[in-house]
Amino acid sequence: MVKKIKKLKGLGLQVIPFSEVQELSISQRVKKILNIVLGNRIVILHGRLRPEEEARLIEDTMALVDHVKNFKGIELAVIEPNPRSMGFFLKMKHGIARKLVGNNTALTIIGPATVIKEIKRDPKKLELMLR
């Protein structure tokens, strides 16, 4: 018997380079991300949001859950090199790069909770489980 595999309708990925959001304010950055997520797409942001931006993202997400039908929220994860496993010079190089161009050594993945079942994360790997 052949088992039917359900297709994920309209699943899409959108990569945002750090340069595209660098000049934006917190509100604009969060709005841009949420607009993509509301279109049922997964955002891969080159770089990471600052903690206060992540908090704002959660706040705005919750406001949307309240107002947008069938929107249940987001899944969010950041992968970045572990500085503890880096040597001194590599750590310094990353530190200088971060000062000059911001933290774009990381990748931030944000997607609609209804599309992403779970983002499992441990220090060595990241698993994206889709519905």
Partner 1 sequence: MFKLLKKFSARVFGGLFRKRESLKIGFYGPPNGGKTTLANRICKDWTGEEIGTVSGVPHETRKVQIKEKVEIDYKGKILTFKMIDTPGIATKIDYENFLKFGMKKRNAKKRAKEATQGIIEAIQWLDDMDAVIVVLDSTQNPYSQVNITIIGNLVARKIPVLVVGNKIDLKKADVKKIVNAFPEYDVVGISAKEGKRMDDFYESLFALSKKV
Return residues touching partner 1 (CB under 8 A).
50-52, 54-55, 58-59, 61-63, 65-66, 72-78, 113, 119-123
Q: Contact 117/127 with Cβ under 8 angstroms?
A: no
Closer residue to partner 1 (CB): 1 or 52:
52
* Nearer residue to partner 1 within complex by CB, 11 or 65: 65
CB 109 within 8 A of CB 128: yes
Q: Using the minimum distance from each CB to partner 1, give the nearer residue, 24 or 62.
A: 62
Q: Name every residue whose Cβ is closer than 8 Å to that of residue 14 and which is 6 or more positions away in sequence.
A: 36, 41, 42, 43, 44
Give whichever of 20 and 73 is closer to partner 1, judged by the CB atom.
Answer: 73
Q: Could you tell me the smallest distance in angstroms from the CB atom of residue 107 to partner 1?
A: 13
CB of 78 to partner 1, least distance (A): 7
To partner 1, the closest distance from the beta carbon of 66 in angstroms equals 5
Q: What does each C-alpha distance from 125 to 88, 93, 102 come to in angstroms?
A: 23, 23, 24
Q: Would you say 48 and 78 are in contact if contact means Cβ atoms under 8 Å apart?
A: yes
